[in-house]
Chain A
Amino acid sequence: AQKVTQAQTEISVVEKEDVTLDCVYETRDTTYYLFWYKQPPSGELVFLIRRNSFDEQNEISGRYSWNFQKSTSSFNFTITASQVVDSAVYFCAPSRRLPGAGSYQLTFGKGTKLSVIP
């Protein structure tokens, strides 16, 4: 079974501040993927990043960066110079392989609600 903990239920920051969203997971799988999704107030789920458990390189995409540390089972997400449009609920999700090649189940955390105040 997998478990994911997003300890921060809600975070508020002032625009242009940096903010880090924490994600700690438990898994018995040796190979897995890790995902981050964004859910803005409009309700849709937007894919942000996928990371393979073998690839521990940090990644930067514009104002977004991710810090994956397999030794501590953490996959943290940082937004630099936050903007009001970043206000959303952010979900971390490790994956578990399902029967059927290429299919897998995402185990979603409860999410962190980020509010960016202008």
Chain B
Amino acid sequence: NAGVTQTPKFRVLKTGQSMTLLCAQDMNHEYMYWYRQDPGMGLRLIHYSVGEGTTAKGEVPDGYNVSRLKKQNFLLGLESAAPSQTSVYFCAMQTGPNSPLHFGNGTRLTVT
């Protein structure tokens, strides 16, 4: 998927635990995004980044933090997981301004 790698692929957390999802691109592109997909709701934007060291909130940022210390990596953190964060998380990148988004293969997270 256009050089976007997400780890892990699956994870089960207990309420209150923390974890970090990693998104890595094998190129040097500026724009990266984190979406979540829930049944019957399509995909919703959590946070995004327009370059190294910059992040911004999307549509549903509460309960998540992100970091973009290196251009290749965009990290999504859950400090205290809640069952409402059970979802499939997709990272995406753009290869250039106004270009299509290319998605990773997703991370399926279950919070019990």
Q: Which residue numbers of A lie inside 8 Å of B, CB to CB?
A: 4, 33, 35, 37, 43-45, 47, 50, 91, 93, 98-111
> How many residue-residue contacts, CB under 8 A, span A and B?
67
Question: CB distance B106 to A43 under 8 Å?
Answer: yes
Size category of the binding interface on chain B: 20 to 34
Q: List 12 A-B contacts (CB under 8 A).
A: A33-B98, A35-B101, A44-B1, A44-B103, A45-B103, A47-B101, A98-B48, A100-B50, A102-B96, A105-B48, A106-B43, A106-B45
A87 to B102, CA, bound (A): 20
Question: CB distance A108 to B50 under 8 Å?
Answer: no
Report the minimum CB–CB distance from B38 to chain A (whole Å). 10
Q: Which residue numbers of B lie inside 8 Å of A, CB to CB?
A: 1, 30-31, 40-45, 48, 50-51, 54, 56, 58-59, 88, 90, 92, 94, 96-98, 100-103, 105-106
A27 to B90, CA, bound (A): 24
Report the minimum CB–CB distance from A107 to chain B (whole Å). 8
A107 to B54, CA, bound (A): 22
